[in-house]
Amino acid sequence: MTVLVSRYPAYSLFDRELCIQKFTWDSSGFPSFGHPIPSGVLQSLPSGEEGRTVFFDSFEDGNANGWTTDGDSWAVIKPVGHSYEYAMLSNGYNLSAAGGNWTDYLVQAAILLTSDTQGAGAGILGRVVDNNHFYQLEIYNYNGTKTWHLNKNDGGVWSELASGPFNYSTNYYYYLKMVLAGSSITAYILSDGGATYQYLGAASDSSFTSGKIGTRGTLQPYRIDNVQVQLKE
């Protein structure tokens, strides 16, 4: 169901937000609309994933202990109407990594971009060997087109493994998920606030067999939250 919500009552004709909300039917056959989540509040992660969670960071402790940055301006902040989130505050090329030396796993996190201009993007990293060796799944404005990209950075040599169009919005949280199993890398996105990931694409690559997880963004401040790693059982 789609609901238009007036953001500012005094200007209700001009400024509305698009909300998407699940609804069900009661025993009398009437729709039950539930309780909408307020604008700006991040939904919790979908449940039902297979595997064992070995890492989760929602930054509610107010810090980013365990994360190693490339030296740019990272901070844990609490934006108005949001929980604590990990924020990259500059307009550069920025990376931060965490976790252990895992082999086959899924990594997922919520990503919020503040700009969709050309070259601006952000995403999650898998099998991070160091700051120049990793796989990356990002949403990204490529030459004026909004896309998703699954990339490899092998010592500063970038390769595109898979990509496609994806019409994202700024200031909205998308869950990105990357599943790494042997040489198989699969990309998903959760964009409707519901419980079902959308399959984006997959690739096969054997360059990196294990590593940390992380996040990386380009040419805009962005935020990340609810970072989770599960090992396949």
Binding site for Ca ion (CB under 5 A): 58-59, 83-84, 225
Nearer to Ca ion (CB atom), residue 59 or residue 148:
59
Contact assessment for residue 191 and residue 168, using Cβ atoms and an 8 Å cutoff: yes
Nearer to Ca ion (CB atom), residue 138 or residue 225:
225
CB of 120 to Ca ion, least distance (A): 23
Cα distance between residue 178 and residue 200, in whole Å: 10
CB of 182 to Ca ion, least distance (A): 32
Contacts of 15 by beta carbon, 8 Å cutoff, 6+ apart: 6, 7, 8
CB of 60 to Ca ion, least distance (A): 5
Nearer to Ca ion (CB atom), residue 43 or residue 207:
43
Nearer to Ca ion (CB atom), residue 83 or residue 145:
83
Cα distance between residue 216 and residue 214, in whole Å: 7
3-class SS of residue 9: helix
Contact assessment for residue 166 and residue 113, using Cβ atoms and an 8 Å cutoff: no
| Amino acid letter, residue 203 | A
**CA nearest 124: which of 114, 112, 113, 109?**
109
Contact assessment for residue 229 and residue 116, using Cβ atoms and an 8 Å cutoff: no
CB of 227 to Ca ion, least distance (A): 10
**Any idea which residue has 């799944």 for tokens?**
137
CB of 207 to Ca ion, least distance (A): 32
Nearer to Ca ion (CB atom), residue 123 or residue 211:
123
CB of 42 to Ca ion, least distance (A): 7
**Eight-state DSSP code of residue 10:** G
3-class SS of residue 11: helix
Q: What's the half-sphere exposure (Cβ side, CA atoms, 13 Å) at 231?
A: 12
Residue whose CB is nearest to Ca ion in the complex, by number = 83
Nearer to Ca ion (CB atom), residue 75 or residue 181:
75
